[in-house]
Copies of this chain bind each other. A is one copy, B any other.
Amino acid sequence: MHAVGLVTEYNPFHNGHIYHIEQAKKITNADVVVAVMSGNFTQRGEPTILDKWQRTRAALANGVDLVVELPVFMAVQPSHRFAAGALQLLNDLQVTDVVFGAEHPSWDFSKLVTAERHFNEKSFEQFNATYATQFNQQLNELTGHQLTDPNDILAFAYYKAIIDNQYPIALHPINRLGSQYHDQTVTGTIASASAIRRAVELHEAIDRVTPAETATALAKLKKLPKWEQLYPLLRNFLIQTPVEELHQIYQMAEGLEYRYREAAECELTFQGFIHRVKTKRYTYSRLLRVCLYAVMEITNSQIAQAGAHPYLHVLGFTERGQGYLHQVKKKVEYPLLTKIGQDEHDGLVNLDYRAGKLYQMFTDVEQDVKHAPIIVRKGN
């Protein structure tokens, strides 16, 4: 059996994802679909609308054969680290192909990766512009292209990861179907994840654009997981912790600890807080990620330690996925974890475990301890 890999968040899993899975199988003739998926927090540092088990169940019921968690220290990262982490795991899982959507699938992304090698590092020292803006200034000068669309940015990062690490994986950028990522309306049978989240918030129907598993889980949702609910925890941490300890928090760089502390002291709502810390230097995504690192008290050394010990936490599989696991389990380099016991949650998967405990602000469901993988069996 050979496998195609997908890099996913499934926030939530919807009909566009089903199309993506079908395309991936068609293009690659793969026997098995392996998804690496963010856990309970997204790349942007936000809590997912459904927990990782609910999202896994929906994916397995609709074409994915094996779901492996992208650990929080790889997932909640700028796109290049997010992509690199996902491909690192997919490569260890022996996938031969990765299929992904891009706004410009016809671009020669390898060429853009090569161009980046000729960037002038000095030019990134403008403190009144984001890294992305400065990156695009240079890319544009060298290639005439700019990476401004989110999936193009990820596509670039996948190529870079493959080239840098010489992974034996073929990459297949494809067109994205239907609604654009930022479209905020739900029409037809395909809608973007953000449009679906917005519709849920407005109590609008979403069952035409998602499979039943997603619609059912969303129907049971009492309250949308949002940063507003985590803000009291973040605020208290930022106020009570000595500023020199705040400085140890991952990515709390360049004096951000003072901005965060001051904003926490003044602002009683998360919206007020995040607007107050915003500068031209940083995107909201970057600032949200630092919020998560802070509320989880994740330090630079914790990230370094976690990064040195990758693992494969299996969230679920179909019978076909189980067969594939049997096929590759002796070939994978990283520990393959199915059930998380005391040893793992204190050790290897500690950051995911703590992320799960934080996610219990939104759900009573225990996220990691002794949680068995989801198994979806299908009729023939």
Give residues in A with beta carbon < 8 Å to B. Answer: 232-233, 235-237, 239-241, 265, 268, 295-297, 354, 357-358, 360-361, 364
Contact = CB atoms under 8 A, between A and B. Distances in A.
Rank and list the top 6 A-B pairs by shortest CB-CB distance, nearest first.
A240-B297, A239-B357, A233-B236, A240-B296, A233-B233, A240-B354
B364 A236 contact: no
A36 B268 CA distance: 30
Given A297-B240, A297-B241, A265 B232 contact: no
Copy number in the complex reads 2
Contacts of A235: 357
Contacts of A268: 360, 364
11 contacts: A232-B233, A232-B361, A233-B233, A235-B357, A236-B295, A236-B357, A236-B358, A236-B361, A239-B358, A240-B296, A240-B297
Given A236-B295, A236-B357, A240-B354, 12 more contacts: A233-B233, A236-B237, A236-B358, A236-B361, A237-B237, A239-B358, A240-B295, A240-B297, A240-B358, A241-B297, A265-B357, A268-B364
A23 to B, nearest CB: 40
A268 B237 CA distance: 19
Nearest to A294: B240
Contacts of A233: 232-233, 236
A109 B358 CA distance: 50
Nearest to A265: B357
A268 B361 CA distance: 9
Contact of A232 (B232, B241, B297): B232
A11 to B, nearest CB: 22
Tell me which of A240, A296, A358 has the highest count of chain B C-beta atoms within 10 A of its own C-beta: A240
A358 B237 CA distance: 10
Contacts of A236: 233, 237, 295, 357-358, 361
A268 B363 CA distance: 10
A45 to B, nearest CB: 15
A27 B193 CA distance: 74
Nearest to A296: B240
Contact of A354 (B232, B239, B295): B239
A283 B232 CA distance: 28
A87 B116 CA distance: 70
A268 B360 CA distance: 8
Nearest to A357: B239
Contacts of A357: 235-236, 239, 265
Contacts of A240: 295-297, 354, 358
Nearest to A355: B240
Contacts of A364: 268
A232 B241 CA distance: 17
A354 B235 CA distance: 11
